[in-house]
């Protein structure tokens, strides 16, 4: 259980670093947008609608965030976040398996193993059915077809009373 607590602390640390880098990128996007708007104002141009303002911001933010998120530093932060999350999930699963075993509840590992066995058995049944169909079809091909029995009763010449 202590391992889960440790992985939560590691995950929160990694999330903090990721969120800081993310907010730095967004803040830089806002700064660049304001600078762009100032340049437009110097030229005497104006943004006349909220849609134009949002379009301008999105164009600048797209370029800025692409640059920020392509740096080795950001990729390292993202990698640490992913590893911390995976380590936490593994520790969490291990802790839950301990609890489930004590309560006699099937664990995920046991359920996964059962599903794998079921899948293997289904494949085996399909293969056996295919083989049986092939074996039973061969002798039938060599024989003459049998006449089907008539479902109607045979007509009799007895007078009705």
In this predicted model, what pLDDT tens digit does every residue of 121-137 receive, in sequence order?
999 999 999 999 999 98
Q: Sign of dihedral through CA atoms 83, 85, 91, 93? A: negative
| Residue 141 pLDDT | 57
| pLDDT per residue as tens digits for the range 29-75 | 999 999 999 999 999 988 889 999 999 999 999 999 999 999 999 99
Instruction: Note the pLDDT tens digit of each residue in 69-111.
Output: 999 999 999 999 999 999 999 999 989 888 888 898 888 888 9
Distance of CA 133 to the CA centre of its chain: 38
Q: For the chain, what are the domain ranges?
A: 2-105, 106-139
Q: What is the pTM for the complete model shown?
A: 0.62
């Amino acid at each position: 259980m202590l391992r889960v607590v440790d992985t939560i602390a590691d995950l929160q640390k990694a999330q903090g670093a990721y969120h800081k880098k993310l907010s730095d990128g967004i803040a830089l996007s806002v700064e660049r947008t304001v600078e762009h708007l100032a340049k437009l104002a110097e030229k005497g141009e104006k943004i006349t609608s909220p849609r134009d303002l949002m379009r301008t911001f999105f164009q600048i933010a797209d370029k800025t965030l692409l640059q920020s998120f392509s740096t080795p530093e950001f990729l390292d932060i993202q990698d640490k976040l992913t590893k911390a999350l995976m380590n936490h999930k593994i520790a969490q699963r291990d802790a839950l398996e301990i609890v489930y075993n004590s309560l006699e509840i099937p664990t995920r590992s046991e359920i996964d193993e059962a599903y794998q066995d079921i899948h293997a058995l289904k494949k085996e049944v399909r293969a056996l059915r295919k083989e049986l169909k092939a074996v039973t079809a061969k002798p039938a091909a060599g024989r003459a077809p049998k006449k089907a029995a008539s479902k109607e009763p045979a007509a009799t010449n007895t007078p009705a009373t």
